[in-house]
Amino acid sequence: MKKISLLLVGVSMSAFTAHAQEAVLSLTGDNVVSITSEEKVSDLTTEQAASQEDKGIFSFLNFWKKEHKPVVTDSSTEPQETLQQKLTRQAQAGDLNAQLTLGYMYLYGDEQAQIKPDYKQAFKYYEMAANQNDNVAINNLGSLYYSGIGTPRDIIKATQMFSKAAELGNAEAMVNLAFIYISEQGDFYRPQEAVNLFQRASAVKNPTADFMLGYAYYKGFVVEKNNLQAFELIKRSANAGYDEAMYVLSGMYMNGEGTPQNYGNGVKVLNLAVKQGNVPAMMELGYILANGEKYPKNIYQAHILFNVASVRGAEGAAERRDMVRKSMKIEELLQAQAAAEAYKEQPSELTSYIRQTFGQNIRQYIDNGLTKASEQNQKS
């Protein structure tokens, strides 16, 4: 099974911030198809889109960053205390917020405080906060152990931290631990426990857990296959903005799985996934528009989709592009090529987070698990 390779790539690439009450951290041009920026998956259903507080995202990456204000001293004749000095004093005195803030600042660096990244210092302050039994800090510390940031990599300690934070109610820690149990090998591979953790996190509407649990129901992995459950959970993740959920949801609409068959809704959801740069969605929508069986034929848009997908390495995309080109006039072809060149993917915050943390295709963990289970059954 492929091991999670991007669990904490965002630690060195980007920083995510959140409000103090939502502080969490867990595991690591023109549109191709014309849709309005206001369209959401929930427009296709009677449900409202998931609210911001329902998103519960940023498992590994959302280290909390406190908003800072200039420190003002009582006397202009006294040396002004720097932000770093103030936070360090507060953290040493046991202030949890200061400890979390310094952990974040040392992890990513902070120009305002003139602090450069220092992973050992980041680990130190998250450990101090974790010692106060704060579930956010414990979860963050688990992430640092897992990725070997500021400390030697230690999966056992990471799982202990995630387990403790999960017991304290941290949904992101539940997701982190679940991904360890579903992606690692040997004694760490515990698919039943992984699904149980996804169930717990999904109960509080974590969109990553919603998708993984929904896909487990869709494929019959650990739990009994249930398309109704799968549809509702995957749709909830899609409404939160996850492109892979949109892609899988489109197939359920097209095939009438867990919902009445509706080609129009399927195409609309594919459009949303394409906008985010989802390559399988580009290929699927290209096939649909080129064939004209499930939706009105549109060779122009199909050519754009295959052209963009070919640049992203999609198998068979270049051949499909060249095939549909034969039915196009030269003026139309030139316009399609220009549109493909101008295409800019616009991934949602949730999609970017999941891609950076767990990889481009998190379905693979369940698909690989099914293959592993099948091979074990054949041996027995």
Give me the tens of pLDDT residue by residue for the chain, a chain 380 residues long. 333 432 333 332 233 323 222 222 323 333 333 334 344 554 444 333 333 333 333 344 444 443 334 444 455 555 688 999 999 999 999 999 999 999 999 999 998 888 999 999 999 999 999 999 999 999 999 999 999 999 999 999 999 999 999 999 999 999 999 999 999 888 899 999 999 999 999 999 999 999 999 999 999 999 999 999 999 999 999 999 999 999 999 999 999 999 999 999 999 999 999 999 999 999 999 999 999 999 999 999 999 999 999 999 999 999 999 999 999 999 999 999 999 999 999 999 999 999 999 998 999 999 999 998 888 777 76
Burial (Cβ within 10 Å: 0-12, 13-18, ≥19) of residue 152: exposed
For domain 9-234, the CATH architecture is Alpha Horseshoe (1.25)
Do residues 142 and 165 touch, judged by C-beta distance below 8 A?
yes
Do residues 300 and 336 touch, judged by C-beta distance below 8 A?
yes
Residue 231 makes CB contacts below 8 A (sequence gap 6+) with: 214, 249, 252, 257, 258, 259
Domain regions of the chain by residue span: 9-234
Residue at token pair 């579930």: 135
